[in-house]
Amino acid sequence: MKKEIQKSKGELKRSFGKKLNLSNLNLITLEDLTSELVLPRTFYQLVIFMLDGSNSMNGRTDDGRSKAVRIEDSIKSILSRLKKSKNKESFDLSFIIFSDDYTDVFDDGIKRLVDIDTQQCFNPIKLIQEPKDTRLANALKYAKDRSNQYIKENSDRTTQVLLLILSDGALDDYSDSLKEVNELKMNPQITVACQYLEKYIDEDSKWYSCDEATGELDYDSPWTIEEVRASEERRSNKFKRFASSDELFITTMDPALVRDHMIKSITLISKTNL
C-alpha cells in the first residue's frame, strides 16, 4: 500500500489512517517516516570508477590485506552509501579495470545505481584476466568515448560525468595517460578525481633504489626510509596532475577515507548532499 504523508490540523497521518501527534514526534520517528522518501530524477550523473588491476595491487597494506581487497572494500562502502541517498535514482555507474589492457565490469557498460548488486566482486585483480603492468591511456580513451556518448544521449538534461581513478600511480604510459586525461578535462561536463593508493612502508624491511621508468630494483643500491618516502611523494605529485583540482585528489589506503573522498567528489559535481 502506498504510504503518502498528509498534513491535517497539526497532525501527520499516513493514507491508511494512522495518526501521529506532532508533539510526540521525535527525531527517530521522523527519520522513520522519511526513510522511504526518494526524490524524482533531477539530474543525470555518470560516475566511472577506473580501478588499477596491475600486479602492484597485490601489494600488502598496513593491516596485511592487499591493495585490491582494500579497493573492493571502498567500492562496496560507497555503493551502500549512495543507495541510501534520496537522489539514488539520478546516478548511473560504470567500472573499468586497467592493467596492460582494460576490461569493462558490466557487459552492458553503464548500469543504474539502483540495479547494481553491492555484493558482487569489485576486486580489480580478480576482474582482469592477466594482471601485469599499469597502462591507463587506452582505458582513458574508452572512458572518454563512453562519457561523450552519455552526455550526447542526455543533452537536454542536467548532465555530468565524474571519473574516479584509483591507482598507485606507477604508470608505464604516464605521458600518454596525462595527454588523454587533459583532453577529458577540457570538457566542462567531465571531472576527474584521483585516489592515490599509497605504498605501505615497513621500516623494518630492506629497500632498494628503483628505476621509476621500468620498476626494476638495483640491489646494489640500498635506500633509506627517507629516500623511499621521497620517491613515493614524487610519484604522488605526478599523479596529482590527473585530478581536475587539488580538492579532488587524496593520498591514502584507508577504505573509510577513500569512501569519504568519493562522496565529497560526487557531491561537488552533482551539487547534492548524499
Predicted TM-score (pTM) of the model is 0.80
44-270 classified as CATH 3.40.50.410: yes
**Per-residue model confidence as pLDDT tens digits over 107-166:** 878 999 999 999 999 999 999 877 788 999 999 999 999 999 999 999 999 999 999 999
Type and span of the H or E element at 193: strand 190-196
Residue with cell 539520478: 90
> What is the mean pLDDT of the segment spanning 244-253?
94
Residue holding cell 595527454? Answer: 179
Going by their DSSP bridges, the two strands 249-251 and 190-196 should be labelled as: parallel
**Tens digits of per-residue pLDDT, 43-95?**
999 999 999 999 889 888 878 889 999 999 999 999 999 999 999 999 999 99
For the four alpha carbons of 6, 8, 13 and 14, in that order, the dihedral sign comes to negative
Strands 11-14 and 190-196: unpaired
Place of cell 548511473: 92
What are the tens digits of pLDDT across the range 81-110?
A: 999 999 999 999 999 999 999 999 998 789
pLDDT at position 25 is: 42
Residue 83 pairs in a beta bridge with: none
Q: Where along the chain do its domains lie?
A: 5-34, 44-270
